[in-house]
Amino acid sequence: AQTVTQSQPEMSVQEAETVTLSCTYDTSESDYYLFWYKQPPSRQMILVIRQEAYKQQNATENRFSVNFQKAAKSFSLKISDSQLGDAAMYFCAYNSGGSNYKLTFGKGTLLTVNP
Amino acid sequence: GAGVSQSPSNKVTEKGKDVELRCDPISGHTALYWYRQSLGQGLEFLIYFQGNSAPDKSGLPSDRFSAERTGGSVSTLTIQRTQQEDSAVYLCASSRGRTDTGELFFGEGSRLTVL
């Protein structure tokens, strides 16, 4: 079974600084999808960024980028120029694609942004 | 509707009582998911509905849990004879179909507290 591990239960960053959230996963698949979701205090999960495993180029969405290391099964999220609105719980998730419709989530990292 | 709507937002019940949680997905979304988020844990898959196909109930933790989706739209998650370990946030999500794009749209969840 696939597993997703987030080793940092909590992280903090100063406003305008950069922070990196770690995620590792375990799979025997060669093609799959990885995601970062954000859950603010409102509880509504929002997709931040996604990465297809067959793409070597790291995904980027404005201030959010990933460092995808397929061989190491590592998928970290970098948030640049952190803003107070970035404070939230961040979840890493995995999906093997194809006929699989379930997302497997890590336990999350709580990010605090200090003014 | 504009987004996934869940009700009630918060529910406090006594041990042994039955509860119903409702989810109204985004119009036109054929796939609907229920996840459970317990304190300090990631999201745990419960059940998946896709169109008129038989639901995938493999994540339901016990036979006290059941869910239905009427008319391919609104879904109700029912927990019978609630136990304290059922206390959690129950998140509903919908999507246009397969999750390989990662585009799950979540509601704000129903927080269940069993006393």
d(CA A104, CA A17): 30
Smallest Cα distance from A14 to chain B, Å: 24
Burial profile B24-58: b = 16 or more Cβ within 10 angstroms, e = fewer: bbbeebbbbbbbbbeeeebbbbbbbbbeeeebbee
- Whether the bond into A40 is cis, omega within 30 of 0: no
- Confidence at residue B99, expressed as pLDDT on a 0 to 100 scale: 55
Mutation target among B43, B53, B108 for the A interface, most CBs of A within 10 A: B43
d(CA A115, CA B60): 42
Tell me the chain A residues in contact with residue B111 when contact means C-beta distances shorter than 8 Å: 43
Q: Please state the rounded mean pLDDT for residues A58-87.
A: 96
d(CA B32, CA B97): 9
State chain A's mean pLDDT as an integer: 92
Pair type for strands A24-26 and A3-5: antiparallel
pLDDT digits (tens, 9 = 90+) for A15-56: 999 999 999 999 998 888 999 999 998 888 999 999 999 888
pLDDT digits (tens, 9 = 90+) for B24-64: 999 988 889 999 999 877 899 999 998 888 899 999 999 99
Would the pLDDT of A100 be above 70? no
Would the pLDDT of B97 be above 80? no
- Confidence at residue A31, expressed as pLDDT on a 0 to 100 scale: 87
- Confidence at residue B42, expressed as pLDDT on a 0 to 100 scale: 82
- Confidence at residue B104, expressed as pLDDT on a 0 to 100 scale: 86
Mutation target among A7, A39, A43, A104 for the B interface, most CBs of B within 10 A: A43
The 8-class DSSP code of residue B11 comes to E
Decide if B100 touches A, using CB distance below 8 A. yes
Q: Which residues contact A5 (CB under 8 A, 6 or more apart)?
A: A23, A24, A25, A26, A106
pLDDT band at B101 (very low <50, low <70, confident <90, very high): low
State chain B's mean pLDDT as an integer: 91
d(CA A27, CA A39): 25
d(CA A48, CA A33): 14
Q: Please state the rounded mean pLDDT for residues A100-105.
A: 81
d(CA A13, CA A36): 18
Smallest Cα distance from A19 to chain B, Å: 21
Question: Which of the pair, A99 or B86, is modelled with greater confidence?
Answer: B86
Question: Any bridge partners for residue A75, and if so which?
Answer: A68
CB-CB under 8 Å, B99 with A47: no
CA A70 to chain centre: 14
Can you list the positions of beta strands (E) in B4-104?
5-7, 10-13, 19-24, 31-37, 43-50, 65-69, 75-79, 88-95
Smallest Cα distance from A102 to chain B, Å: 7
